[in-house]
């Protein structure tokens, strides 16, 4: 039953998710962990941009869901978002 409901509301759910993720991308572009200033190179890049890029990519996934884009495309961008988040986590933990 829930699956049928989500399918019938795919556009609204995708756009709502995209709006929320876009908001988080903006927030994490402004809020930068202090550790970014203490590092340099790839680590600084991962800390500074890993999290906002992850959210931006998730916003794209939301739009793609609303447009009923192919699952392979949505999955590829979602996996890229996860990789960006993993880079962010690695940068903050190292």
Q: Contact 55/21 with Cβ under 8 angstroms?
A: yes
Give the pLDDT confidence score for residue 6 in this predicted structure.
86
CA–CA separation, 87 and 43 (whole Å)? 8
Q: Contact 57/18 with Cβ under 8 angstroms?
A: no
Give the pLDDT confidence score for residue 94 in this predicted structure.
87
pTM, whole model, 2 decimals?
A: 0.90
Q: Contact 84/53 with Cβ under 8 angstroms?
A: yes
Tens digits of per-residue pLDDT, 41-73? 999 999 999 999 999 999 999 999 999 999 999
Give the pLDDT confidence score for residue 1 in this predicted structure.
66
Q: Quick one: tokens of 82?
A: 């996860």
Tens digits of per-residue pLDDT, 1-57? 668 888 889 999 999 999 999 999 999 999 998 889 999 999 999 999 999 999 999
The torsion of the CA quartet 31, 58, 15, 12, rounded to 10 degrees, works out to -130
């Amino acid at each position: 039953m829930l699956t049928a409901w989500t399918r019938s509301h795919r556009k609204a759910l995708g756009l709502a998710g995209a709006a929320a993720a876009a908001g988080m991308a903006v927030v994490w572009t402004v809020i930068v962990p202090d550790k970014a200033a203490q590092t340099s190179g790839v680590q600084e890049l991962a800390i500074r941009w890993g999290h906002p890029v992850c959210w931006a990519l998730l916003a794209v996934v939301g739009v793609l869901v609303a447009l009923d884009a192919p699952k392979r495309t949505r999955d590829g961008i979602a996996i890229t978002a996860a990789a960006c988040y993993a880079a962010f986590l690695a940068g903050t933990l190292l």
